[in-house]
C-alpha cells in the first residue's frame, strides 16, 4: 500500500511544481476560484479528495485548504516523513492538527490497531477537524485534545485570524506570518503538556510526533521531555525563525537528547547540517540509536 501512496504523492507534488500555464490547463477553475473568493471576501466549505483517497472538508480560500483542494496533498516532505516511519499498530501524535490532513494520513498508516492523538486548540478549526476525523478518516483509535501543547499546563491567549487564517493561530504574534491576514480577536485556550496526554491515554510506545506550533516548538519540546527520553519517537519539526523564535535552540535541545537531524531531499532522507538561522523548512529528528536503521530502509519497502 505504501508504494502506491508514495507514487500518488509524487504525482501530486509534481503537478504542484509545474509552471502556472501547465497547472492552469490541468486544474482550470480550481486554480482561479480561490483568488475570486479571496477578492470577494467569501469563505466557502468544500470537499477535497486526498492523495490517499479520503474525502476531506476544507475551507476556501484558506491557504492550506487551497493546496489540498487543488492537489490532494500538502507539504509533501512531511507526508513523506509519515510514510517513512508509520506502520500498522503504531502511535502518532499530531501537534497542531488544523483541519486534520496529517492526522487522517496517520490513521491511514497506523490502521485499526494504531492510535492517533491530535492537539488543536482553536474551536472553529477543531470543529472541522472533528468532522474530518469522524466521517472521512480510516478506522483507528483517535483522541482529539482541545488544547495547545506547551511546557506547562495552564491557559494562553491565542491570536485568532478566523478560518481564513486558521493555520496561523498562535500566542506569539509574527507580522511576517500574519501578513495579509485580518486579526479577528483573541481566544483563551487550554495548554497541556505532551507528557500528560501520553500518560492520560496510556501510550506505551510512540513512533512519531509532528510539531507545528507556530513559533512555540521549543516550549512544546520542554513539555515532552519525559516522553522523548522514555519512548524515543521520531519528531517532525517545522523550522523557521520568526517572532523571536529560534529553530537552532529547538534542534540543540533535541541533539542534547541524542537525536540526529534529517531533511527531505529527492524523495529520500539525508543528514541535515544544523544552521544558525532558518527560513521555512520541515525537518525530521530521529533518535541516534535507531536513525541508521530507519535511513537504510526505503520509505515504502
Give me the DSSP letters along 137-183.
SPSSEEEEE-SEE-SSSEEEEEEE-TGGGGGG-BSS--TTTTTT---
Report, as an integer, the average pLDDT of 274-284. Answer: 94
Assign 175 a pLDDT band (cuts: 50, 70, 90).
low
- Mean pLDDT within 161-179: 69
pLDDT recorded at residue 164: 85
pLDDT digits (tens, 9 = 90+) for 246-258: 899 999 999 999 9
pLDDT band at 166 (very low <50, low <70, confident <90, very high): confident
pLDDT at 185: 86
Whether the CA torsion 127, 220, 140, 88 is positive or negative: it is positive
Of all residues in the chain, the percent with pLDDT exceeding 70 is 94
Q: Mean pLDDT, to the nearest integer, of 235-262?
A: 93
Q: What is the mean pLDDT of residues 1-20?
A: 95
Q: Secondary structure of 18-46 in the HEC alphabet?
A: CCHHHHHHHHCHHHHHHHHHHHHCCCEEE
**Cell triple for 209:** 510526533
C-alpha cell at 26: 490541468
| Residues contacting residue 261 through CB under 8 Å, at least 6 positions apart | 251, 254, 255, 271, 272, 274, 283, 284, 285
- Reported as a single tens digit per residue, the pLDDT across 199-235 is 999 999 999 999 999 889 999 999 999 999 999 999 9
Tell me what pLDDT residue 170 has. Answer: 67
Q: What is the pTM of this model?
A: 0.94
Domains of the chain listed by start with CATH number: 75-296 (3.40.50.150)
Q: Is the pLDDT of residue 300 over 70?
A: no
The mean pLDDT value for 137-154 works out to 95
pLDDT bin (cut points 50, 70, 90) of residue 139 is confident
Name the band, by pLDDT with cuts 50, 70 and 90, for residue 180.
low
- Return mean pLDDT, the chain: 93
Of the ranges 76-80, 172-176, 228-232, which one carries the lowest mean pLDDT score? 172-176
Joined together, the cell numbers standing for residue 244 give 523571536
Amino acid at each position: 500500500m505504501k508504494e502506491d501512496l508514495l507514487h500518488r504523492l509524487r504525482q501530486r507534488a509534481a503537478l504542484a511544481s509545474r509552471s502556472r500555464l501547465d497547472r492552469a490547463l490541468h486544474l482550470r477553475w480550481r486554480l482561479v476560484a480561490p483568488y475570486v473568493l479571496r477578492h470577494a471576501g467569501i469563505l466557502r466549505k468544500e470537499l477535497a479528495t486526498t492523495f490517499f483517497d479520503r474525502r476531506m472538508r476544507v475551507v476556501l480560500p484558506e491557504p492550506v485548504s487551497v493546496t489540498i483542494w487543488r492537489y490532494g496533498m500538502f507539504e509533501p516532505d512531511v507526508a513523506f516523513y509519515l510514510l517513512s516511519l508509520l506502520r500498522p499498530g503504531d502511535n502518532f501524535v499530531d501537534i497542531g492538527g488544523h483541519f486534520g490532513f496529517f492526522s487522517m494520513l496517520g490513521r491511514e498508516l497506523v490502521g485499526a490497531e494504531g492510535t492517533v492523538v491530535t492537539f488543536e486548540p482553536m474551536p472553529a478549526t477543531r470543529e472541522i477537524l472533528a468532522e474530518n476525523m469522524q466521517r472521512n478518516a480510516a478506522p483507528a483509535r483517535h483522541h482529539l485534545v482541545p488544547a495547545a501543547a506547551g511546557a506547562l499546563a495552564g491557559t494562553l491567549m491565542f491570536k485568532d485570524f478566523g478560518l481564513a487564517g486558521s493555520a496561523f493561530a498562535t500566542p506569539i504574534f509574527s507580522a511576517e506570518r500574519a501578513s495579509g491576514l485580518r486579526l479577528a480577536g483573541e481566544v483563551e485556550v487550554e495548554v497541556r503538556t505532551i507528557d500528560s496526554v501520553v500518560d492520560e491515554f496510556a501510550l506505551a510506545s510512540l513512533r512519531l510526533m509532528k510539531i507545528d506550533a507556530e513559533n512555540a516548538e521549543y516550549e512544546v519540546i520542554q513539555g515532552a521531555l519525559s516522553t522523548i527520553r522514555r519512548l524515543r519517537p521520531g519528531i517532525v519539526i517545522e523550522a523557521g525563525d520568526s517572532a523571536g523564535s529560534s529553530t537552532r535552540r529547538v534542534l540543540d535541545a533535541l541533539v542534547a537528547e541524542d537525536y540526529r537531524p534529517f531533511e527531505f531531499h529527492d524523495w529520500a532522507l539525508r543528514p541535515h547540517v544544523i544552521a544558525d538561522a532558518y527560513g521555512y523548512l520541515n525537518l525530521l529528528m530521529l533518535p541516534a540509536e535507531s536513525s541508521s536503521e530507519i535511513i537504510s530502509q526505503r520509505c515504502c519497502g
